[in-house]
Amino acid sequence: MSRLNVNIDHIATIRQARRTNEPNPVAAAVICELAGANGITTHLRSDRRHIQDYDLIALKQVVITHLNVEMAATDEMVAIATSVKPDAVTLVPESPQEITTEGGLDVIAHQQAIQSAIKKLTQAGIFVSLFVDPDPKQIKASAKLGAFQVEICTAQYAHLNEQPGDPTVRRTKQIENEAERIRTAAKTAVRAGIKVAAGHGLTYRNVAHIARIAEIEEFNIGHNIIARAALVGLDQAVREMIAAIRLAQTK
Ligand code: PXP
């Protein structure tokens, strides 16, 4: 059975909308853990648009499951991570204008910076995951650079699934092809000796297909859970996502 890490960034997005002190991402992390989440994921962005440095310090003290921090492979971020020491760091690409992370890292083009970050983080006892597109070349390069895990970007799969409009004209063939690309990428990672996670854009509606890929051990899901939580409560929203993943894996 795979693990679910809940990304709580959007709790901080609501707080930052008013530059106040609520809702508190640490309280959200505790609720997610009580609802059965296996870990908490959070992205400390260079522009600090949601999670702040003090959140990270507080999360490190309070999270008892697993704390995964997404960040760019910059000196500033690596220094923060090696000081706070979360359980895991996921290196992601970051660009200032993006609404959210737009795709995987180009591990081949940025080998030096990524390898240096992996080395420093690993020496600090932090498990390093690289967020990459479902591209076997990127996955083999990640293994060569010494990553412990890759997180396969499911954004394209999610995008194909979540087209608005008539569900009967959903792009079934394209969705199947993209799921196959993710499956092949996951198998490539396992053959290269590294662990596999997946995330980005996954929802209650589209997670099942990806949850059936046995090689994927971890899911990082945020927006959809927090969006649902706004309407039904965070405890229920987390339990529903765990149930959706489990149902796919027991069928
Ligand atoms: N994984 C990574 C590497 C991400 O950057 C994000 C978004 O912060 C997620 C997973 C979660 O994506 P979503 O919020 O679309 O579930």
Ligand 1 centroid–CA 70 distance in Å is: 9
Instruction: Look at residue 169 in the predicted model and tell me its pLDDT.
Output: 60
pLDDT at 166 over 60: no
- What is the percent of the chain where pLDDT is above 70? 97
pTM: 0.95
Higher-confidence residue of 94 and 102: namely 94
Amino acid identity of 168? Answer: T
Report the DSSP pairing between strands 39-43 and 149-153: unpaired
Ligand 1 contacts CB of residue 43 (under 6 A): yes
Contact 126, 105 (CB under 8 A): no
Instruction: Tell how far CA 147 is from the center of its chain.
Output: 15
Taking residues 3-12, report their average pLDDT.
Answer: 98
> What residues contact residue 229 under an 8 Å CB cut-off, 6+ apart?
236, 237, 238
- What is the percent of the chain where pLDDT is above 90? 89
Does a structural domain hold residue 126? yes
- Of 56-65, 94-103, 213-222, 234-243, which range is least confident? 94-103
pLDDT at 175 over 80: yes
What's the number of domains the chain is made of? 1
Q: Which residue lies with its CA nearest to atom 4 of ligand 1?
A: 200
- Active-site positions? 43, 70, 200
Does a structural domain hold residue 250? no
The minimum-distance atom of ligand 1 relative to the CA of 220 is: 10
Ligand 1 contacts CB of residue 104 (under 6 A): no
Q: Which residue lies with its CA nearest to atom 15 of ligand 1?
A: 201
pLDDT at 250 over 60: yes
Taking residues 76-83, report their average pLDDT.
Answer: 98
Taking residues 223-247, report their average pLDDT.
Answer: 97
Instruction: Tell me the CATH number at 49.
Output: 3.20.20.70
Residue 32's pLDDT band (boundaries 50, 70, 90)?
Answer: very high
Could you give phi then psi for residue 71, rounded to 5 degrees? -160, 160
Does a structural domain hold residue 81? yes
Helix or strand (DSSP H, E) at 115:
helix 111-123
> In the Cβ-directed half-sphere of 40, how many Cα atoms lie within 13 Å?
30
- Of 53-57, 93-97, 127-131, 241-245, which range is least confident? 93-97
Q: What is the chain's Cα-based Rg?
A: 17
Taking residues 11-32, report their average pLDDT.
Answer: 97
Measured CA to CA, the distance from residue 197 to residue 131 in angstroms comes to 9
Residue 12's pLDDT band (boundaries 50, 70, 90)?
Answer: very high
Ligand 1 contacts CB of residue 149 (under 6 A): no
pLDDT at 187 over 60: yes
Does a structural domain hold residue 251? no
Peptide bond into 164 cis (omega under 30): no
pLDDT at 170 over 70: no
**Of 11, 38, 5, residue with least CA distance to 27:** 11
Taking residues 171-200, report their average pLDDT.
Answer: 95
- 133: containing domain: 3-238
Does a structural domain hold residue 244? no
Residue 142's pLDDT band (boundaries 50, 70, 90)?
Answer: very high
Instruction: Look at residue 4 in the predicted model and tell me its pLDDT.
Output: 98
Does a structural domain hold residue 23? yes
Token pair for 209: 């297909």
Ligand 1 centroid–CA 155 distance in Å is: 9
Ligand 1 centroid–CA 7 distance in Å is: 7
Residue 100's pLDDT band (boundaries 50, 70, 90)?
Answer: confident
pLDDT at 165 over 80: no
Does a structural domain hold residue 232? yes
Instruction: Look at residue 168 in the predicted model and tell me its pLDDT.
Output: 58
Q: Which residue lies with its CA nearest to atom 5 of ligand 1?
A: 101
Ligand 1 centroid–CA 144 distance in Å is: 24
Instruction: Look at residue 133 in the predicted model and tell me its pLDDT.
Output: 98
Does a structural domain hold residue 54? yes
Measured CA to CA, the distance from residue 73 to residue 16 in angstroms comes to 24
